[in-house]
Amino acid sequence: MTKSILTITLNPTVDKSTSVENIKPEKKLRCETPKYEPGGGGINVSRGLVRLGINSTALFTSGGRTGKLLEELLTKENVPTLPVSVQAETRENFIVVDTSHNEQYRFGMPGEDITEAEADTIFKTITSLSPTPDITVISGSLPPGIDASYIGKLVKILKEKGSLIVADTSGDALAEVLKEGVYLLKPNLGELGAFTGKEELDNDSADEAAKQLVDEGKAEIVVVSLGPQGAYLVSKDECIHVPAPSVKKLSTVGAGDSMVAGMVSVLARGGSLTEMARMGVACGSAATMAQGTGLFSKENAEKLYNWLSK
């Protein structure tokens, strides 16, 4: 039986993407028709899971005109949602590709303040879910008004209720998550180095640093994203390196979230750690084959997974 999944996105976005030839300053640029897609860490994980035939509930803050658009876009993608209304307008990000050089420019907008009362409502909504989700994915940045310690408290209660925590965040929020300990952590080399006190990590030393986090009880599984070099999955008993397949890269938007979706899909079905690592790399690599903010296609992900499994 497939495990139940909740994804949490406290600072979601609508990603607006377009393309134009030859970006130059002080010149009127004639862009292509923009494309609007849901965005934010946990939301992208839920979108990826739908592509893999796995249901999850996407919990996120929703405010104003952009919040309504975000809800509509997710409904079109058949993502089960649990929006929590807030006063602040949901943010937009802007991505533009210069077609003359195939260079991508990504403009990330800050979120607006979440009030203390709204933060309390979000907390109670999550912690009162019945039944408690088997897997909870906490991914993405924090909006202004929510302190990093908020995430630590959330992790603590969800763990006590028996949920497996998958975390893909950064900065102070990641530090709070590590204090509580999680089931699965997905840092990149820079984040891993910062939290193990090893500033100059490379592919060869990443597995040792990841093992340190496991030994310290901060995560049962650490998956280190190595970008074009693939990923390391480290647990108490295993260290698995999965190389990234060679693909034509069009965009890196959502590659990390796609990787998390791939891994969570295997976790939900009760697959092995090797399968988890391979599916994570397959989905992350497949996402780079899509233009704009399109995440991955199931066909490309499965093709790459089969290649990695040979």
Paired residues of 213 in beta bridges: none
pLDDT digits (tens, 9 = 90+) for 199-208: 777 777 888 8
198 has a pLDDT exceeding 70 = yes
Question: What count of residues does the chain have?
Answer: 310
278 has a pLDDT exceeding 90 = yes
pLDDT digits (tens, 9 = 90+) for 83-141: 999 999 999 999 898 999 888 898 999 889 999 999 999 999 999 999 999 999 999 99
pTM, rounded to two decimals: 0.94
Instruction: From the candidates 15, 168, 207, 257, give the one annotated as an active-site residue.
Output: 257
Percent of the residues in the chain that have a pLDDT greater than 70, as a whole number: 99
47 has a pLDDT exceeding 70 = yes
- How many angstroms separate the CA atoms of 287 and 48, rounded? 10
Q: Is 120 a catalytic residue?
A: no
Q: What is the mean pLDDT of residues 237-247?
A: 90
293 has a pLDDT exceeding 70 = no
CA distances from 240 to 102, 163, 255 (A): 34, 25, 20
Q: What is the mean pLDDT of the chain?
A: 92
Q: What is the dihedral of CA 204, 205, 207, 211, to 10 degrees?
A: 160
Domain count for the chain: 1
Cβ atoms of 40 and 140 closer than 8 Å: yes
- How many angstroms separate the CA atoms of 269 and 84, rounded? 28
CA angle 236, 237, 241 (to 5 degrees): 100
Q: What is the mean pLDDT of residues 243-257?
A: 84
Q: What is the mean pLDDT of residues 39-57?
A: 96
The CATH number of the domain where 271 resides is what? 3.40.1190.20
Give the range of the structural domain holding residue 19, as residue numbers without chain letter. 5-23+31-308
Assign 70 a pLDDT band (cuts: 50, 70, 90). Answer: very high
227 has a pLDDT exceeding 90 = no
Cβ atoms of 218 and 234 closer than 8 Å: no
**Residue (of 33, 9, 4, 15) closest to 253 by Cα position:** 15
